[in-house]
Every structure is written in C-alpha cells, then in structure tokens.
Structure 1
C-alpha cells in the first residue's frame, strides 16, 4: 500500500514557466549555474543554487546560502513569479525527448513509506550531500526539487493519465536541450480520490533518481515531528514532493567510466591481464564501439576501440548485484587490474553520462591525458527493481536517467 497525497503546489505563472524551470541543482557546478542564470531573474537556480547571488568565494554549504535561497523563494512568491494553488491537486508531468515520452503523476509521498521501505532505494547516500539538502529543505521550509519515483505499470492509473492529457496543458514548452515539458492539473475531487485509492493497491515505489533529496526530505520530516510532538501525521512535513512514472515509460542510458592510468602496466601487460576474464577484440567498425547487449563493453585505449565480452565465471548468477555489467567490470577489471578498489572515493576514476556521447570518452583519453575509457551497456529498470526488492544497493554510478526532471515547476511547502 503506497500513500500518495494531493497538495497545493506553488508553481510558475504560465507565461514564464519556461524561464523558471531549470535542471536539478546537482547536475551543474556553481560556475555553470551563474552563467545560466546571469540574465534570467526568473531562473529557479536563484533558489536551488543560491550561492550564485553571493560572493563567488563563498562556501556553497554556508548557512548564508540556504538563507539566501529562502529569501529568493519568498521573493519569487511575493513578486507573483510563483503562485500557490488554492486547493489540493495532483498534476501530470510529461517529458518528451527524441520522440519518446514519459508521463508521471506529481504528488506527495509519505516519509513513513520511505522509513518502512515501501519506497525502495538502490543507492547509498553520502552524509555531506544529505546535510546540504537537509539545510536547504529545512531553511526554505519547502521541497523545491521533486523525487523521481517509478512504479510497476498500472492500467487503471494509465487510463486516468490518458483521459486528463486529452485536455490542454497548463504548461507546454521546449527547453534549450530539446526536451519538451507539458503539465496538466488534476483538480477533480473524484479523480483525486480514485488516484489515491489506486496507489493504495501498489505494493512498492522505487526511487529512480534523487536518493539524497529523498533521504533529506525524510530527515527534515523526522526533525519536524520531534519539534511538534503532538503531530497528527497529516501535516505537510510528513510528506515529500515526488513525480511517479510507470516503469514502462522510463529510459536508463549508459553511465560510462574513464580511468586516469593503467596502474603501472604497459599496454601489452594490461591487455594480457584483461584477457584472463574478457574476450578482447579490436573493433573494426566505424566510430566508437557502443555495446548492444549485456556482458559486453567498449574499451578505448591507445587510440583504438576494443570490444570486451565477459567470460563465463565472472559473476555469481544468484546475486542480482554481482551480475550487473557495472559490477562485472568493477570486480574483474577495475579493482584487480587498475586498482580502483572503491569507485566512490578513488580520484583516478571518472564517470561520464551517456548523454554526452562516446566522443566524450575519446576526448577524455586523448585531450585530458586519461589512460583508458569504457563504454557500458545500460542497466535495465528490471535489474534496478530486482535489486531494490532484494534490499540491496547498486554500485555507484550504475544508472543515468534521461530526460532530467526540471526544478521550479512544482514546490511543496512543509506547512
């Protein structure tokens, strides 16, 4: 049973929604955010990365940054850039990239469902990143960025979405990266109740993206409960902003790896060692090698692309984590040969989202003096859900979801 709650969204005026909406705070640096928002007073980066409005030398985790975020959020509300709806609604959010759409319901999910593992995780979180968003949510008194959740396809929910998306959207714009964003408001009380009832029949929700935002929202909710010992459980701080997509709509793309050097090996020595666990063939095709099926990898080394295929015995078939392609590469090559024992902390490895293309891997090796790059076959959504159901976690940088949800289209106040 999953709890989904309607809410009074704070959201942009229709005429400026495209100017407000921005990519999530964690996919860009402070410098990039300053450049993006420098001529746009409407940009939600003034809230999500408020250090851009302070001295360039300020620590982005300074309390003044969170206080500036709160000030900017309230200013956007006071200036009628953001307006709060008068009643509790659900919303439909559709993103379309390269002709493929994903359509989700925007609402608030329960911190208790997260605590009880009805909202399932597949990644570890870092305390420093959690603390950043705890401070942001607590001081802004709001969830400013949605958590990206998924659920197993439900035909009745899909029928409701199809019915409401026949109406004219309240927002419809295409961002600079070519992604089209459409939003509809579900304001019918009977439909809202029906959606709530349908989600009660869904056993589990899965975090696709936003583990740190989710963990932080929950910890702020727990903090507020301690501050309000007579809480009823219905207060807004008991819930956090989410967008829920059916798993059939989602697309995971490759998350590739680049390693700085060959760990003291010559090219010849390195290939001999790799050949113990992988079949290694020079790629004779044009351009870069993009793996087309599980268990294969591209490797860019010394100006050439190679095709790697994992040999039998490189993973434990009973462990859903061990048989991930990212695990096979980590356990049989990155750790034992290249010395990348902990990819979370080792500064010799970098991760490159597939959205950048495989040319980025060649560039890193050729122009940035890296040693070797690997192109990956994407993790599947079924693998993600199986691992979450087993109560396990994936290795770092196992999934990259595109397109990214925009921040600023929906804000959830905690009171």
Structure 2
C-alpha cells in the first residue's frame, strides 16, 4: 500500500550528515560543523551547512513550494554532470532551532568572510562529536522547506537517479544544503513586468482590471505600496492599488491564475521578474517602456510552508527569499 506524504514525513526524520566541501580552497577532511551567516544592513540569518539526503526530497520530507522551469533544471543538471561539483547549497527552512549550538560557535573568530551588499560569514568547528550531534538534532526538527534552490534540488535528484548504483552513502545520494530557522527568514516582493501589445493603452488595461470579478476596486496611488490583498499596478509613470476580493488566496496565485489570463490579448510577453529589495518600485527599468507592472504582496514564510504542506506549488517567481547563499563559496565534489 502506498504511503501518503504526511505518513512518510512522520515515519522517519531528515537524514543529514556533515558536509565534505572545499571552502576557499581548503577541504574539510574530517566531520565538522559549518555555521553560515548571511547579513545585510537590515537583516541577519544564521544557520548550518550540511548534506541532506536526496531520498528525503523524494519522500516529501524536503518540500517544495514553487514550480520549476524544465530548461533551467536541464541546464544545471548538465553542468553538474560535466563538472562533478556542486557550487551552491540549496537554502532550506525549518521550524526548529539550533540556537544554543550555533551561538557557541559564532562566538569564535570566523573561518571566512565575504563582504559586499550581503556579508557571508562562515565558522568551521572541526569536532566530530559536535558535528554528529548537530545532524542528529536536525533529524528531529521535522520537515524541511525549499526557500531557494528548487531547480538545484531537481538537478541533484536527476544526478542521483543516474548514479544510484554507487550506493546510498555515495556523495551523489546527497546534496549540499544551508538550513535556516523560519523566524529568521525574509521574503521580498517581485516586479512582474509585461510588454503590452502595440496599441494597448493604460485605459484599456485599467478597464479590464476594474471589470474583473476578483477586483474590489482599483485606484491611483502616489506609491506602489502593497499589503495582503492589494496588488501594485504600474502603467507608464503612474501607480495604482488593486484591491482583491479574494479571501484566503495568496496574491501570487490570484495574479497568475486569475488576473493574467484575462489580460492575455493585451499582454505580449513577460519582460522580466525581478526582486524588490527595498520596495523601491519606481526604479524598475520597465517603467519607461510600454509595459504593465504587477507586484503582488509577498507571502509570509508561514504561508509558504503551509502551501508546501498542502502540496500546491506556487507559480514560478512567486517568492524571493533574501539574502541568498553565495555561489562558489562552497564547492562539494560528487565523485
């Protein structure tokens, strides 16, 4: 008899193990705890880097919340196969806490630090007993949720499927992951920019949106501020607030599944989807184009995890967890 996803999640915990990685050219040849902090002038999150089992992803203990783009998965899969190296951890969220162990380690001098818009700080404690204890604790904190790296996780699963004959302990059966507590995570809004078809006017778009059954009202606004149930709409150099009638439906779903289909003949193609770090929506480059900008209010971390638990993936580019792990800070050999 098949096992439901919830049953699978309750049957056993997450399988994590200390990472075998290259950090700034130095290999971790023995088990170690790797603590990783991402910090901006407005935000800080601190977690641990480990290897997690691909089988936990297959069994639903590592859960996704966004649909993936097949072409991107294929590109990453080909890169991994060609190089035999993982260059960036999947960012995972959990509801548990490892604060006590992490605080003791971060009191020491960092092993590495990269500075820029985001400061990436790494502490490595070469202590096998502590490393095993951290991984055991991770096994008891419940399900993990993909915050960033849906495509990398799928590519890792494909790689593991091709190399399954190498056994369950081979590096290909695991993938590199950075785990952070949910109460330290931040989600930003997205600019969704769409080129309008030739001849389409601002009035055409506003009328179509105003006539939509989900629209409670739409009104001009001096700034594109959003809140739950309010989508910012940009046309030319003006902004509007579109208040939705939806209750209990995430704004990203309403935009993707309800609003955009009704605009299909007015929209030529999507130009870009970019994160909105400081909600400075006026700086979006397509403001000077004949384009429509839609910015749904970002979901909360709890809403994202609830979506994952329900098995209902959100549309691609619905969430932007910020900040993100740095590429090439860690290199994990798969051979």
| Structure 1 residue 340, shift from structure 2 partner | 8.1
1:247 aligns with 2:182: yes
Q: Deviations over 1:243-279 (max 9, x none)?
A: 0111111101001212211686543343233223231
1:279 — aligned with what?
Answer: 217
Aligned partner of 2:126 in structure 1 is 187
Please, which of 251, 261, 264 is the counterpart of residue 196 of structure 2?
Answer: 261
Partner of 1:301: 235
Matched, 1:412 2:335: no
Q: 2:21 aligns with which of 9, 33, 37?
A: 9
Q: CA deviation at 1:188?
A: 1.8
How far, CA to CA, are the matches of 1:370 and 1:385 in structure 2? 36
Partner of 2:254: 328
Correspondences of 1:58-137 after superposition (within 5 Å): 82-137=25-80
The 3 A distance-change label for structure 1 pair 164 and 224 is: same
Q: Does 1:216 align with 2:155?
A: yes
Q: Does 1:399 align with 2:319?
A: yes
RMSD over equivalenced CA pairs, Å: 2.1
C-alpha distance in structure 2 between counterparts of 1:278 and 1:350, whole Å:
27
Aligned counterpart in structure 2 of residue 158 of structure 1, from 99, 113, 131:
99
- Whether the 8 Å CA contact 1:263–1:337 is kept in 2: the answer is no
Return the match for 1:386 from 292, 306, 327. 306
Q: 1:340, 1:105 → 2: CA distance?
A: 47
Return the alpha-carbon distance in structure 2 between the equivalents of residues 194 and 307 of structure 1. 50
- Residues matched between the structures, number: 319
Give 1:11 deviation, angstroms. Answer: 1.4
- SS of aligned partner of 2:29: coil
Residue aligned with 1:347, SS: strand
Whether 2:110 is the aligned partner of 1:172: answer no
Is the contact made by 2:19 and 2:49 (CA closer than 8 Å) also made in structure 1?
A: no
CA shift digits 1:371-400 (9 cap, x unpaired): 321233212111111111111100121011
What secondary structure does 2:318 align onto?
coil
Residue 207 of structure 2 aligns to a residue whose secondary structure is: helix
- Could you tell me which of 281, 289, 306 is aligned with 1:358? 281
TM-score when scaled to structure 2? 0.88
Deviation at 1:187, TM superposition (A): 1.8
| Cα distance per residue 1:301-346 (max 9 Å; x no partner) | 24322122113xx46x4xxxxx1111222334221134489xxxx7
CA deviations on 1:27-57 (whole Å, 9 max, x unpaired) are xxxxxxxxxxxxxxxxxxxxxxxxxxxxxxx
TM-score, normalisation: structure 1:
0.72
Take 2:67 and 2:84, find their aligned partners in 1: how far apart are those partners?
25
Give the Cα separation in 2 of the matches to 1:370 and 1:270: 12
Deviation at 1:199, TM superposition (A): 1.3
CA contact (8 A) 1:263 1:338 kept: no
The answer for unaligned runs of 5 or more in structure 1 is 13-81, 318-322
Q: In the alignment, is the contact (CA less than 8 A) between 1:106 and 1:243 conserved in 2?
A: yes
